[in-house]
A and B are shown apart, each in its own frame.
Chain A
Amino acid sequence: MTTAPKPTQKSDGLLARLARGRPTKPGETYGVPGQGNTLWLSVFSISLFFFVWWLVTFMGWVKPLFVPSPGAIISKFFQIWDTGFTGTPFLEHVWISTARVFGAFLLACMIGIPLGLAMGMSPMMRGLFDPPIEFYRPIPPLAYLPLMIIWFGIGETSKILLIFLSVFAPVVLGARSGVKSSAIEQIHAAYSFGASRWQVMRYVIMPSAMPEILTAMRIGIGFGWTTLVAAEMVASTKGLGYMVLSASQFLQTPVVIMGIFVIAIIAFAFDLLMRFIERRVVPWKGRM
């Protein structure tokens, strides 16, 4: 009786193996781009970042003026938390900036979403509003900040307007392209039940535009935080952007970095909230 030779792994060159997709484990789909869990890698990259930061400062390779140690940032945070910055309590800085960004954001959504939907629905609205929006959209807010100040003064109006404009364009464009996301069969089905144009809008087009509108809101609020520092550059005495800018003028690097982290954490927390809302409101996104 002869026994068949034991099967062996076919050996290809290393390059050939790297260039080809690997077979998947049961339960996974072969060849899905970017498949795999990234949590531990992210934890690793964040840890590495903090470790290198700590190492560089602990060993004294870089002067604290340029890169203060993580500990210095934390103690600065508690110091400002206790005594405030330039005479204003820390939480008031946070509050005023958050109010500016979210005030402008809400305003931009309240005007931008209906306008975007209208532009998607009506060629007249699109024809009228497309040129001005496309004209100002690519201009950096810093470029028209002087105009805002000349026109609206150095008060709250020009600050909120500047942030508003940076949120407005992406929200309008998102709502506008969201109009296109309903299938023509869905629209035809509604019409064949005798729906009016308004009912089609209300019951088919607006719900199906929700995923794109929510994404546009996430992008928009990101632009809002980006513009915050610019908005608080002129004649501010309060706010996170003001705190960062004025600290930089006195070379208080720990305050600059601390301010950056606070902005990042608030923005990230809001993004998590938006993702949560997205899962609750449009669980069907991309499913049909």
Chain B
Amino acid sequence: MGLQIENVSVIYPAADRRPPVEALSKINLTIEDNEFVVALGASGCGKSTLLNLIAGFLSPTSGDLILDGHIVSGPGADRAVVFQKHALLPWLNVLDNVAFGLQIQGLPKAERNKIANKFLGMLGLDGFQDSPVYKLSGGMQQRVGIARALTCDPRVLLMDEPLGALDALTREKAQELILNIWNETHKSVFFITHSVEEALFMGTKLVVMSPRPGRVTHVFDLPFSRQFLSGVPARQVKASPEFIKLREDVLKIIFADEEDAA
């Protein structure tokens, strides 16, 4: 079934003597089960707007989003969001942060701690259960955010530039970690990034978007994450001629968009 986005447009109303802005124009996109869709594009292309639509934080001006045969009409536990930052609760320790979604759903403490501990282990955070989250490094905080999103067993995982604030080395490790978890949990993922390399490496489907109005201009099927998961080292995948060729093609598209804007 998956998630179908059908003819979705978002128009922000006119404000301050500026004309209305068409943030998204007639988007058609399907996120199948177990598919890893990456959205990439110049700033202002509407990729965050698209994520907010799927999450249910925003309702479309026209068109429909359909998840498993039901129209999306608000946020829900079937779509978990991993934010770029500022989304953890600093008054809770690591364990309680990860168990937060289960607490909202009313699970008893022992049960939710058991589930939370499982995902803490999966993300390599064992032994940090009692640490305050504000004392963790950026990379560990992000792993806590991912563990928290996974606990409620969502259908779709929405990731809004989750690795944008990390340093290059931590970022590559986190990419591999996310792919391994995706491989283990079989979630559908919608992933936003600014990095072309990250987009090509992680996705099974790449959606390139362009601004003014925000729209999908290119869709690529990607083999690279499956190569990595079948055992090819990440650096080798990223150094392969096909990878480099596609990276240059995609960069060309995005640079052209940025130049149009300037």
User: Taking beta carbons and an 8 Å cutoff, which residues of A are in contact with B?
Assistant: 183, 185-186, 188-195, 199, 203-204, 207-208, 210, 282-284, 287-288
Across the interface, do B105 and A192 meet the contact criterion of CB distance under 8 Å?
no
8 CB contacts below 8 A, A to B, read A185-B86, A185-B87, A189-B87, A189-B100, A192-B79, A194-B104, A284-B132, A288-B86
Specify which of B57, B77, B90, B132 is in contact with A193 (CB 8 Å cutoff). B77
Q: In the complex, which range does the number of interface residues on chain B fall in?
A: 20 to 34
Tell me if B129 is interfacial: C-beta within 8 Å of chain A.
no
Which 9 residue pairs are nearest across A and B when measured between Cβ atoms?
A284-B90, A193-B101, A185-B87, A194-B77, A183-B86, A287-B134, A288-B90, A185-B83, A191-B75
Which residues of B lie under 8 Å from residue A287 when comparing CB positions?
A: 90, 134
Which residues of B lie under 8 Å from residue A189 when comparing CB positions?
A: 81, 83, 87, 100, 148
Across the interface, do A185 and B79 meet the contact criterion of CB distance under 8 Å?
no
Tell me if B26 is interfacial: C-beta within 8 Å of chain A.
no
B65 CB, nearest partner CB in chain A, Å? 15
Given A189-B87, A190-B100, 11 more A-B residue pairs with CB atoms under 8 Å apart are A185-B85, A186-B89, A189-B83, A192-B55, A192-B76, A192-B79, A193-B101, A193-B104, A194-B77, A194-B104, A284-B132
Which residues of A lie under 8 Å from residue B199 when comparing CB positions?
A: none
Which residues of A lie under 8 Å from residue B89 when comparing CB positions?
A: 186, 203-204, 207-208
B160 CB, nearest partner CB in chain A, Å? 9
Which residues of A lie under 8 Å from residue B87 when comparing CB positions?
A: 183, 185-186, 188-189
Tell me if B103 is interfacial: C-beta within 8 Å of chain A.
yes
- In chain B, residues 61-96, which have Cβ atoms closer than 8 Å to a Cβ of chain A? 75-77, 79-81, 83-91
Q: Nearest chain-B residue to A202 (Cβ)?
A: B104
Asked if A195 meets B104 with Cβ closer than 8 Å, knowing A185-B83, A185-B87, A282-B91, the reply is yes
Q: Nearest chain-A residue to B57 (Cβ)?
A: A188
Across the interface, do A188 and B81 meet the contact criterion of CB distance under 8 Å?
yes
B144 CB, nearest partner CB in chain A, Å? 12
Please classify the interface of chain A as helix (H, G, I), strand (E, B), loop, or mixed, using the class held by over half of its residues. helix
A239 CB, nearest partner CB in chain B, Å? 39
B92 CB, nearest partner CB in chain A, Å? 8
Tell me if B133 is interfacial: C-beta within 8 Å of chain A.
yes
Across the interface, do B81 and A288 meet the contact criterion of CB distance under 8 Å?
no
Give bound CA distance, A190 to B75, whole Å. 9
Which residues of B lie under 8 Å from residue A188 when comparing CB positions?
A: 55, 57, 75, 81, 83, 87
Across the interface, do A283 and B132 meet the contact criterion of CB distance under 8 Å?
yes
Give bound CA distance, A193 to B56, whole Å. 12
Across the interface, do B77 and A192 meet the contact criterion of CB distance under 8 Å?
yes
A222 CB, nearest partner CB in chain B, Å? 26
Q: Nearest chain-B residue to A196 (Cβ)?
A: B104
Give bound CA distance, A190 to B76, whole Å. 10
Across the interface, do A194 and B75 meet the contact criterion of CB distance under 8 Å?
yes
Tell me if B152 is interfacial: C-beta within 8 Å of chain A.
yes
Which residues of B lie under 8 Å from residue A207 when comparing CB positions?
A: 89, 91
Give bound CA distance, A186 to B101, whole Å. 12
Q: Nearest chain-B residue to A285 (Cβ)?
A: B90
Across the interface, do A194 and B86 meet the contact criterion of CB distance under 8 Å?
no
Give bound CA distance, A192 to B55, whole Å. 7
Give bound CA distance, A208 to B76, whole Å. 23
Specify which of B81, B85, B105, B148 is in contact with A194 (CB 8 Å cutoff). B105
Which residues of A lie under 8 Å from residue B83 when comparing CB positions?
A: 185, 188-189
Q: Nearest chain-A residue to B152 (Cβ)?
A: A193
Across the interface, do B104 and A203 meet the contact criterion of CB distance under 8 Å?
yes
A242 CB, nearest partner CB in chain B, Å? 43
Specify which of A192, A210, A282, A283 is in contact with B80 (CB 8 Å cutoff). A192
Give bound CA distance, A287 to B135, whole Å. 9
Interface centre among A188, A204, A207, by most chain B C-beta atoms within 10 angstroms, is A188
Give bound CA distance, A210 to B91, whole Å. 10
Across the interface, do B90 and A203 meet the contact criterion of CB distance under 8 Å?
no
Which residues of A lie under 8 Å from residue B103 when comparing CB positions?
A: 203
B76 CB, nearest partner CB in chain A, Å? 6
Q: Nearest chain-A residue to B102 (Cβ)?
A: A193
Q: Nearest chain-B residue to A184 (Cβ)?
A: B86
Give bound CA distance, A287 to B89, whole Å. 11
Give bound CA distance, A186 to B89, whole Å. 7
